[in-house]
Structure formats: structure tokens, C-alpha cells
Amino acid sequence: MFHIVLFQPEIPANTGNIIRLCANTGAQLHLIHPLGFDMDDKRLKRAGLDYHEYARIMQHDSLPSFVHQVAPARCIGLSTHARRNFYDETFQHGDAFLFGPETRGLPASVRNELGDERVLRLPMVPDSRSLNLANTVTAVIFEAWRQQGFTGAKY
């Protein structure tokens, strides 16, 4: 299983879409406070449809709290500021993928704590600013799961 970690997410529809993604891929979702919305926000529920009950969602007061409580195999940050290509990495069962807030991205302090080896970026054409959070999470989780042979998938 993989962990998707949203650090201070701001847009409820993105988180709702990621809840649905987690329900369909078996990834566990972790939300790091503060959140930019309430968990009962109708936009969150609408985007997640009726998948909320099938997703494993945990909330944490801080990133250190998440790391202490979950103890992931590795914590891998995703950022447009990274130098390493996401597709050059080999992922392991239990990896946690850390994504920053939609308007600010993963803070420099978090990227520095992870180190250059653990912060990756998805390829984009030159002069592109960023991808939508839910789209990025989808690309990441499916590549990591593909590398694991889609263990647990039904074809």
C-alpha cells in the first residue's frame, strides 16, 4: 500500500477527487492540518461521490505527527522545484508521497528536510507552472502501483 499525504490542502474538490482515487487504488490518504475546508464541505463530498466510505483517510495535526504515527518506508515529496525526474525513481511498498497546498506547493523547509534525493518532479514542457493537484496525485500513484505490478488490482 502507498500513502498519499496532502500537506495543508486548500481546495475541497481536489481532495474529494483524491479520496475517490484512494478508494479505487487502495492508497491511504493522510491530510495534514490546517485544511482549507471542512471535511463536511459539500464540494468535497460531491467530488468524492459515494467513495468516502471506501477510502482510508487519516488526519494529522502536523507533518512530524504523521511521520511518527505512520512511520512510512520513505517520504517522497513532489515539487516543481525538484531537479530529479519522478520517472527515474523505483518505488517501494509503503512509500508516502507528499504533496503541498495547491496555491503554494510544498514549502522549501519541507523540501530541504526531505533532501534533494527525496524530492521529485513530473516532467512538463518548459515555462509550465504546475499541474492540478488531483492530476499529479493520479499520475504518481498509478506509476508507483504499476511498478508494483498493480498488486491487488482486479482486471
**pLDDT tens by residue, 19-62:** 999 999 999 999 999 998 888 867 777 766 677 788 999 999 99
Q: Is residue 50 part of a domain?
A: yes
Q: Is residue 65 part of a domain?
A: yes
Closest by CA position to 81, among listed 52, 114, 44: 114
Least confident span in 4-13, 48-57, 63-72: 48-57
Give the model's pLDDT for residue 147: 98
Task: Look up the domain containing 94 and give its range.
Answer: 3-147
Q: Is residue 154 part of a domain?
A: no
The three cell numbers locating residue 81: 522545484
List strands edge to edge, sheet with 75-78. Answer: 56-60, 28-32, 3-7, 96-99, 75-78, 119-121, 84-85
Q: Is residue 153 part of a domain?
A: no
What digits encode the pLDDT tens for the residues 110-154?
Answer: 999 999 999 999 999 999 999 999 999 999 999 999 999 999 998
pTM (2 d.p.): 0.94
Number of domains in the chain: 1
Residue 4 reports pLDDT greater than 80 = yes
Q: Is residue 100 part of a domain?
A: yes
Give the model's pLDDT for residue 53: 81
Q: Is residue 152 part of a domain?
A: no
- 68: phi > 0 → left, psi -120 to 50 → alpha, else beta; which? alpha
Q: Is residue 48 part of a domain?
A: yes
Q: Is residue 155 part of a domain?
A: no
* H or E, element range at 91: none
Give the model's pLDDT for residue 52: 74
Q: Which CATH number does the domain housing residue 36 bear? A: 3.40.1280.10
Give the model's pLDDT for residue 103: 94
Give the model's pLDDT for residue 39: 83
